[in-house]
Structure 1
Amino acid sequence: MEISFRHFLQRHAMLFALAFLVIAASFTWRVALARSGELTVHVLNVGQGDAIFFSLPDGTQALIDGGPDASVLGELSEVMPPWDSSLDLVILTHPDADHVAGLLDVLNRYDVAVIAETGIRKETALSKSWDEAVLREGARVLVVDRPQRIKFGDVAALDLLWPQALRAGEVLDKPNEYAVVSRLVYGEISLLLTADIERWTEGQLVATVPEDLLQSDILKAAHHGSKTSSSEIFLNAVDPEVALISVGEGNRYGHPHASVLARFAQLGIPLVRTDEAGRITIHSDGRIFSVDKEY
């Protein structure tokens, strides 16, 4: 039985159209990535939790925390190429539910090369599920137990500033004070990421970290703007041009606290919040940076 080329095209027009759309979309993403030549950081809009994604011009992609649920997957699909199913680095700052729960979904969806964490545990089913997920993933595990630097080529680095001693295996009901604090550096621009640390840890950082490693252009404010964090001595030491708060709209904790908002205002530090702005995106060429809002 013979089928003419015209009939073949008619029968397979939909397949050709779909293939064209896939190729076109792929090309568009490649052009966008090639043109960027810059650091991009997204404070993902995951509600009451933390999830921060960054990408570098060399293609490196990393995720710090995963928020409270699977909504992180929808956010990642908005900021990563649709064909991409891998992450170079995932960091769990501490095993509270609003930081770790979404990472379980991330490990199910993505191939992860390196997982960094403190090794601190909580007596929860979620903490146990995380341990099991890490084993299944088969990624290299980096224990954050001292100050260390992860280098990304010649122009970018992630300085792990805290904790400064081995805590792996410890079981803590409230692990906030030993959450991973990191400082992302790209050229002349720096971003300090403080997880859920509180005043005690802020004081330890001010006392032990060299001034030039603590001062940062951008600060991701600690613990969703809780009154237990963002002390004046710490904010003065960091001296940021802008601060970002990852927080859920109308959350039951009253975050960010009015006293914290007043402190930022008193010090003249502008604030951008995910509950008001949606996903927050930072672009930088290594010399200057911009902060963009989703809405």
Structure 2
Amino acid sequence: MSENSIEAYVRDVEKLSQFAEIAKHQPKPETITERDIMDFLEYLNDFGLSATSQARILSGVKSFYKYMAIENLIQTDPTHLIESPKVGRKLPDTLSFPEIEQMLEMVDVSTPEGTRNRAILEVLYSCGMRVSELIDLKLTNCYFDIGFVRVFGKGRKVRLIPIGRDAIKYTKIYLETIRNHQEVKEEAEDIVFLNRRGKPLSRVMIFLIIKDLAERAGIQKNISPHTFRHSFATHLIEGGADLRAVQEMLGHESITTTEIYTHLDRVFLEETMRSFHPRENRLSSVSKYQSAGSK
């Protein structure tokens, strides 16, 4: 097989290993059951991965267990009776990286609302946060100097999320050129994103902004703020990111224990986002190219 194919198969098995570690803490290939494989596929589906992506990962896992059986390392193949996900089943829509960039290009940054909206989209895609977390984002919880924001998720659970360079750049532009010159209402003094009356934005307003940009970009998909969250997770996972790190950044609840996630430190989460997020990868490639050119 080609080097790329081998790397892809290894990544597929690593994803199963990471999931087993999350669920069982002491994973062993020979102790994985058919139920575990089904739970693994459901886990991938919850991240918004397409049926095609799930089927490709399952193919890699099946090949691994076929090898285990040939080598007499297992008695029963847990993947034997599991069928690939049906391509036609209903899954959350995700945007491709080019579609994300198309929508960003539709924003008119020459207007105050456009400057704000560009920052909003950058933050949604960079952080994978829920729309409720975005509209509640506070100035005092933005640590741009270290590249993190603090958000309050479901049940008011607090988590730190890495924020990308573009998101920081456009949010700072919005804060310095637009928000700093607004008359801000008392209840919104610490809120990052405001409407033209100096009040916090509503969930509906974020939805309408994104719907409008998707239509103008000619994207024929059911797009909502949550689509950016699914796209964030999908692009990181398909790029090879560690499942535990992505789950930590998303703030996902799980029926399995989540104790393991508390041991993931800030540096690990930041490195995951920088290494596997498409926009961060693009910036790194440009940076390396420019460095090489200067030499």
Task: Settle same-fold status: TM greater than 0.5.
Answer: no
Higher helix share: 2
TM-score bin, normalised by smaller chain? under 0.3
Give TM-score scaled by structure 1 length. Answer: 0.24
Higher strand share: 1
